[in-house]
Amino acid sequence: MNKLAADYKVLGGKNVTERIFNFSAGPAMLPLPVLEEAQRDLLSLPGVGMSVLEISHRSKIFEDIIQAAEADLRTLLGISDDYHVLFLQGGASTQFSMVPMNLMEKGGKADYLVTGLWSKAAVKEAKKVGTVNIAASTEEENFVRIPKQEEFKLDPEAAYVHYTSNNTIYGTEWHRVPEVGNVPLVCDASSDILSRPMDVSKHALIYAGAQKNMGPAGVTVVIIRRDMVKDPPPDMGTMFAYKTHVEAKSLYNTPPVFAIYIVRLVCKWLLGLGGLEAMQKINEEKAKMLYDVIDSSDFYRGHAQPDSRSLMNVTFRLPNEELEKKFVKEATAAGLDGLKGHRSVGGLRASIYNAFPKEGVKALVDFMKEFENKNG
């Protein structure tokens, strides 16, 4: 066991051998208490006699789990009864298609605010259904910032406006909800949902793959306003219609039981922390520690413009690529894993989602300072 992992063990006060700091962009670290509860009960849920990996999705036990997950999500995000909460499969990539298939008439039109590769992937799928208007994009600046409201070229007759609340690759994040008038607003919140409070009421639909802040890979949460649930065209596959899953309360077919169970444990953990205001405060503290190092140094250079900086993914460059490679290699050896940046930006990326411990950020800060001293 390396030193940092040993520290973590001591800090956590737990008998966790070997756990390292995983800065990966997702799937990402889960809260230790969540993993511990899942481990304890893996052979048999208390009083049930079956593993959660084995229970029927039609059983009372699972009904309790999925209802608790939904109730806790409603509490955490302040989701009103005007919205359905769905647990689906297929990730945000499937939502890239389901959103236009369900919300746009075939041959209709929609506005997209483009802030990175994931927004562009969403545009690609929407274009298969109708006409896409790029209402704003910062692609020419390599997505270093979120577009300003006055840059928007919105179409008041668009079926909806789509945006990506956090951009994992570029390390940028929306710190306001885009103003789109009366047009329904759709948000891909995969990489920052549950990291801070969110004004759900300003949205018509929010979707998010779970694997950053909510749980493991394999479940996608969709929050959809009741008036957005329409009859699908007769030739649409049943599984691709939101209406199917609304009517069946996410149980049209076998849902990803275990992933939903973990979401339920993560929600419980968040409520125990004090909810999303408390989580946001912690996330702000963690991000500030890294941005402070970047801002006080000529050695490190942030990719995102300060007012667009993400609390989830901190992207930065070093003076040259050779040093960047050296940084990744030495950091990995020190138990700081997954820091290599995406090829679109290069350099380094520290993903510090909800469950990423402050001790891990502190370890990276110390490592960065030491690395600069040695190589600066």
Which residues, 315 to 344, sit near its own copies by CB under 8 A?
335, 337-338
DSSP secondary structure letter of residue 328: H
Marked catalytic residue, from 72, 174, 212, 269: 212
Q: Binding to its own copies (CB under 8 A): which residues in 47-106?
A: 47-51, 53-57, 59, 89-94, 96-98, 101
Exposed e or buried b for every residue in 104-134, given b needs 16+ CB within 10 A? beeebbbbbbbbbbbbbebbebbeebbebbe
Q: Binding to its own copies (CB under 8 A): which residues in 283-322?
A: none
255 lines the binding site for its own copies (CB under 8 A): yes
In the list 42, 226, 325, 376, the residue contacting its own copies (rule: CB under 8 A) is 42
Shorter beta-carbon distance to its own copies: residue 209 or 347:
209
User: Is 174 an active-site residue?
Assistant: no
22 lines the binding site for its own copies (CB under 8 A): yes
Q: How far is the CB of 195 from its own copies (least distance, A)?
A: 17
Q: Binding to its own copies (CB under 8 A): which residues in 101-160?
A: 101, 124-125, 128-129
Distances (CA, A) of 285 to 9, 211, 318, 361, 368: 22, 22, 23, 10, 17
What's the token pair of residue 153? 């070229």
DSSP secondary structure letter of residue 303: S
Marked catalytic residue, from 72, 118, 192, 286: 118
Q: How far is the CB of 260 from its own copies (least distance, A)?
A: 9
Q: How many CA atoms lie within 13 A of 331 on its CB side?
A: 30
259 lines the binding site for its own copies (CB under 8 A): yes
204 lines the binding site for its own copies (CB under 8 A): no
Reported residue count of the chain is 376
Which amino acid is present at 77?
A: L
In the list 254, 296, 305, 344, the residue contacting its own copies (rule: CB under 8 A) is 254
Residue indicated by tokens 């999925």 = 66
Q: How far is the CB of 340 from its own copies (least distance, A)?
A: 10
What's the token pair of residue 289? 């520690």
Q: Is the dihedral of CA 163, 166, 171, 174 positive or negative?
A: positive
Q: How far is the CB of 26 from its own copies (least distance, A)?
A: 7
Residues tagged active-site: 118, 188, 212
